[in-house]
Amino acid sequence: MTQAMKVSLSQQPAAAQWGSATVSFAADGAQIHLSDGDQARQIQAAARKLTQQGINSVSLTGEWTQAQQWRFAAGFGGTMDGGNIEWANDNEALDARRDAALWLKSLIHASPEALSPEVLADEVAERLCAVAPAHITTKRIVGDALLTAGWVGIHGVGRGSVRPPVMLELDYNPTGDHDAPVAIALVGKGITFDSGGYSLKPSASMVSMKCDMGGAATVAAALKLAIRSGLNKRVKLFLCCAENLVSGHAYKLGDILHYKNGTSVEIVNTDAEGRLVLADGLIAANEAGAERIIDAATLTGAAMTAVGGDYNALFTVDDQAASDALAAAAAGDEGLWRLPLAPFHANKCPSSFADTANSTTQKGGGAGGASNAAGFLSRFAGAPAKGWIHLDLAGVYSEGGNSMHHDGATALGLMTVTNLLLQD
């Protein structure tokens, strides 16, 4: 077994022979040299440098805050091997966080062939039931049974694949009261592979589309972590799982879907499929009577253009919900930025043949594409959509990696959703 490299923090610059290096080495280990400015990012970047040096086992020594250790963990390890970290303190809490983050990443990194919609639903149900078996019940609706149940979005998007689409409903109820109110409903986009359908993506854009179930992975991992952290209120989880493929059975441009809440939707872009499956999840969350609804999805390239990979995008029509979400992100040291969402955004995807289209014919949904997508979702979030939070996960995946993250899943958003679940 490789001996762990000791890593400590220093507020002093490296010795002269190291020049302006931010990481230096001695016989007893490595030092990260912090300077004025954003020290959290400095720690994360230093963890990347240590990983790139081939170091995969570290022991954090000396004075570290919990937040500093978590930032180090965010930058440490590779795509295939997360490495080993011995914490300086707060071992139990940090172990629980890292377990959730590594599980989240493993789901996103799984190949599309390995992670079908049913496998994703089963994996989430199995892992969460193992954490609190006495308090969790699950229900799966699969394939054509979705159509019978009225979940036309998940069925429509997933019908082009030979591997059936699934809605997973998971009920975590620690209260002992079968009639306890649902405090929060989580809704996750679980597109296990997105070809774009008949609005076919180019190969370069398709190669990373195993990450399109990042919303489902994020809310599932957050619920797992929140349960381990003492979550004491009833939460329902709805995962909307499908493969968006091209076949003789696939949904087509010009099709019209008729949702359970009475909304008709014309399909003008089969690559705007995430909002179609989330619409079912939002309706289900409202049917459950949830006091707050949180949905998470790798929904739009427009959000990525707006906030980059260091933030996720926040949409809500409720200022208190926005404050709660931003506070949850800040407490978890995660980037989250509120983008515009007004009632008029619900009408930004007009259709002559239905109540709304699922997008526009312009590339990326046109100007304001992320807000327009959120506006589409607002039609299904309740009337009024009080308490609803939509997270467009711009930063959940780093294609090719960078100075902060390895190639692949970042787990950005995990702590935001976890802290929202644990808020009073």
Task: Report d(CA 14, CA 81) in Å as an integer.
Answer: 29
292 burial level (CB within 10 Å; 0-12, 13-18, 19+): buried
Indicate if 275 belongs to the active site.
Answer: yes
Helix (H) / strand (E) element for 344: namely none
Task: Report d(CA 244, CA 329) in Å as an integer.
Answer: 31
Catalytic residue among 127, 201, 338, 386: 201
Two structure tokens written together for 49: 């440098």
Choose among 373, 232, 382: nearest CA to 302.
Answer: 373
Token pair 């996103």 is found at 108
SS3 247: coil
How many other C-beta atoms are found inside a 10 Å radius of the C-beta of residue 424? Answer: 3
Task: Report d(CA 211, CA 205) in Å as an integer.
Answer: 12
Q: Mind giving me the DSSP string for 70-138?
A: HHHHHH-S-SS---EEE-SS-HHHHHHHHHHHHHHHHHHHS-TTT--HHHHHHHHHHHHHHH-TTTEEE
Indicate if 163 belongs to the active site.
Answer: no
Assign 3-state DSSP to the chain and report helix, strand, coil percentages, each to 5: 40, 20, 40
Helices and strands per DSSP (H, E), number in the chain: 13, 18
Q: Tell me the CB-side half-sphere exposure of residue 236, using CA atoms within 13 A.
A: 24
Q: Compute the residue count for the chain.
A: 424
Catalytic residue among 71, 275, 348, 379: 275
Sign, CA torsion 365/368/369/375: negative
Task: Report d(CA 237, CA 45) in Å as an integer.
Answer: 34
16 secondary structure, DSSP code: G
Two structure tokens written together for 158: 């997933």
> Which amino acids are annotated catalytic?
201, 275
